[in-house]
Amino acid sequence: MISTRPHSVSGFTIVRNAEKLGYPFKESVRSVLPLCDEFWIGCGDSEDATLEFCHTLVAESGGKVKLFETTWTRENQSGGFQLKKQTDEVLKRCTGQWCLYIQADELMHEADFDSIRAAIEVATLRADIDGLLFDYLHFYGNYDYEIRGRNWYRREVRLFKNHRGISAYRDAQGFRGPGERKLRVLPSGGRVFHYGYVRTPKSLGVKSGQMAQWWGNTQYTQGEIPIRRHVGLTRYLRSHPAVMQDRIASQTDLVNPTRQQRHWDWTEVKNAITLAWEKILPFRIGEFRNYELS
């Protein structure tokens, strides 16, 4: 049974082919379980050991993790619709006063838990606040480098109040209220560690090819995609979530992105201009914000 304490939290996620796509899925769920009273997994019809991963998490959680199986269909593959559909389906099962969403390649850091809990206390007392905003760290190539730029979102909502008609927006990168109203949020003091681009060129190609179909691209390939020396790469010198330590130590085939070939295109030029601007003013011109910061 879910806790009856005032600020109960339901975690939730969707997953499909986590092993095949190289997601740190088990680590992702484990990283947020201390914040949750229950955690729901919507496990899609996979072609690998993903369902076994889910059963492992259920068994070791002492009843906190709950699982249901789903089927990903080919209806309306444009715009990441299936990701939204699957996310909304698992969200319906959340019973807590708060809902915490994590994607299969995202983790939270235990060092931030006290700040997140304190933000929940404050936001609970404000009826005008829908949720909490998290800062993003995007890692690229290996675990030693994070990347920033216009095409790497800086913040997103990952924790919000339940029973407000909130649902996934577009491809479930974020959430909105009824009528696609942007959520009003406060800073959480927490970070999301995004590892979706910590990959070899082969793994990056497999992931991109597999995921392209859910955006309506039926002509995708699964060839290697090179790791580039992109604008915005910086060395990361702080700690990773504790549950990632074994995985980080075991992945020895990753490359150093700063030693790879640079490829200039319009996206790189815009990123260079953006980063130069932000050294002067901390405001990103034309930034997409899927929320209203209070």
pLDDT digits (tens, 9 = 90+) for 83-133: 999 999 999 999 999 999 999 999 999 999 999 999 999 999 999 999 999
Which letter, b or e, does each residue of 245-273 get, where b requires 16 or more Cβ atoms within 10 Å of its Cβ? eeebeeeeebeebeebeeeeeeebeebee
Cα-based distances in Å from 103 to 100, 169, 214: 10, 14, 16
Q: Which helix (H) or strand (E) holds 120?
A: helix 113-124
Domain range summary for the chain, segments of one domain joined by +? 9-128+156-183
pLDDT, average across residues 7-25 = 96
Least confident of 155-159, 167-171, 173-177, 277-281: 277-281
Q: Are 120 and 7 in contact (CB under 8 A)?
A: yes
Angle (nearest 5°) at CA 291 between 285 and 292: 85
Kindly report, residue by residue over 167-202, the tens digit of the pLDDT: 999 888 899 999 999 999 999 999 999 999 999 999
What DSSP state is assigned to residue 69?
Answer: E
pLDDT, average across residues 244-269 = 94
For 75, half-sphere exposure in the C-beta direction (CA atoms, 13 angstrom radius) is 6
Report the alpha-carbon distance of residue 198 to residue 23 in Å, rounded. Answer: 10
The burial of 287, by beta-carbon neighbours within 10 Å (0-12 exposed, 13-18 middle, 19 or more buried), is given as exposed
Of 135, 57, 62, 132, which is closest to residue 98 (Cα–Cα)? 132
Q: What CATH architecture is 9-128+156-183?
A: Alpha-Beta Complex (3.90)
Name residue 285's amino acid: I
For residues 286 and 27, which has the higher predicted lDDT (pLDDT)?
27
Residue 215's pLDDT is 73
Residue 185's pLDDT is 98
pLDDT, average across residues 57-75 = 93
Over the chain, what is the mean pLDDT? 92
Residue 1's pLDDT is 38
Report the alpha-carbon distance of residue 155 to residue 232 in Å, rounded. Answer: 16
pTM (whole model) above 0.75? yes
Residue 256's pLDDT is 97
